[in-house]
Amino acid sequence: MPTPIVDSHIHLFPASHLPTLAWYSPDSPLGSQHSVDEYRHASSSISTQSDTLESKYLRGFIFLETDRISSVADDQPDSPGWTHALDEVSLLTRIALGEPVAGEGHDATQKDLCLGIVPWAPVPGGPEALSSYMTQVKERTKTEQVWRKVRGVRYLVQDKPAGVMIQPQFVEGLRWLGQQGLAFDLGVDARQGGLHQLREAVEMIDKLGDANAVTIIISELQSRYLSSYESNLWVIDHLCKPNLRLSPDSVSSHPEFLEWKELITKMAQASPMTYMKLSGAFSELPPLDSNVEPDISNLVDRLQPWTDVVFDAFGAERVMFGSDWPVCNIGGGGNNVSWNRWIKIVEGVLEKRGLTEEQKQGVWGQVAVKAYGVSI
């Protein structure tokens, strides 16, 4: 029976929205339309490649916010406020309802691919800002059907000043999210931002306290429709972006690897509801050539010290597949090949780890379904 893939981490933006993206410039490698149409092109060959790929099919995706130009406060003069982030929610609403605006790059036949939505939110503003913002998010989703797809929020901290995660308002904002049953997608960057970001993340979790039933999701969520739900749900993306460029010959004894391992393990131990997203590696590995097929087994071997830490810490039951499309295209060789290259690498990782067929199906989709509380 074919295995459904739930891609737990993708981004979408039409060309008309590019000027609203904080990272956009005309020469950006992602500075063009990346819509559902382009995503379907990237993932379409899954049913025509190898025998192993023929046993899988893309069931759908979890959308993650795309870092729009925004500010925590919505009422400051000359600031972008929440406008662009809320416009992104409206875009995803049109995708989920199958009601595109001309040029957005999606149609009604693709609406069921959108399984979950994780928008930006002003977490540093604390409960008051979050309550006001999420009320507006609900209004933008138009229907209960789409509102139920909003499974959590993200506020990128990888490019923010040190200390932002442990500010009292930030921590209280996280506590409020837990009370609403909303996940927090945590984006930190061990390679470019430094391991101090992971240390700060661990301190942030500690500040919430065990009594709050802290939950970390390295891309996960639970249903927020339980009547007395008060846990924090954490989504930590891309293995925390470790330095995968360390020499494979010495990585297991390198101080940077050893500290990453220690901090990842602490995150996993913070709660049995902590999940890890197996994604984002193409951004940390040396870039691949679009015209030369990579040695998949070599890449699997290179990743093994890192993926072994993840599976040792979280267990297969708390690890899920994510592509990080279209960011994966930059290091993975482009839109024609990168998505399927990552599929093959993950297949090799799971095989080398010796997972059972049930565990493999979990990583490909069922863990994301359970964690995000979506239906397929």
Taking alpha carbons only, the member of 172, 184, 77 closest to residue 120 is 184
> What are the φ/ψ torsions at residue 87 (nearest 5 degrees)?
-65, -35
What does the pLDDT read at residue 367? 93
What does the pLDDT read at residue 125? 97
Proportion of the chain above pLDDT 90, given as a percent: 78
Mean pLDDT of the chain: 90
What does the pLDDT read at residue 231? 63
Reported confidence tier of residue 226, pLDDT bands at 50, 70, 90: very low
pLDDT higher than threshold 70 for residue 179: yes
CATH of residue 57: 3.20.20.140
> What are the φ/ψ torsions at residue 148 (nearest 5 degrees)?
-70, -15
What does the pLDDT read at residue 214? 34
Q: pLDDT tens, 33-84?
A: 999 999 999 998 764 344 454 589 999 999 999 999 999 999 888 888 999 9
Task: Write the DSSP symbol of residue 50.
Answer: -
What does the pLDDT read at residue 47? 44
Q: Compute the distance between CA of residue 273 and CA of residue 88 in angstroms, rounded to an integer.
A: 29
pLDDT higher than threshold 60 for residue 215: no
Q: Is the dihedral of CA 310, 184, 364, 296 positive or negative?
A: negative
What does the pLDDT read at residue 229? 39
Task: Give the three-state DSSP class for 352.
Answer: helix
How many domains is the chain built from? 1
Q: Compute the distance between CA of residue 243 and CA of residue 369 in angstroms, rounded to an integer.
A: 29
Task: Give the three-state DSSP class for 236.
Answer: strand
Write out the two tokens for 317.
């039951």
Number of C-beta neighbours around residue 99 at 10 A: 14
Task: Write the DSSP symbol of residue 362.
Answer: I
Q: pLDDT tens, 310-363?
A: 999 999 999 999 999 999 999 999 999 999 999 999 999 999 999 999 999 999
pLDDT (mean) for 190-219: 72
Pair 217, 235: CB distance under 8 Å? yes
Q: Compute the distance between CA of residue 356 and CA of residue 366 in angstroms, rounded to an integer.
A: 14
What is the domain range of residue 18?
3-372
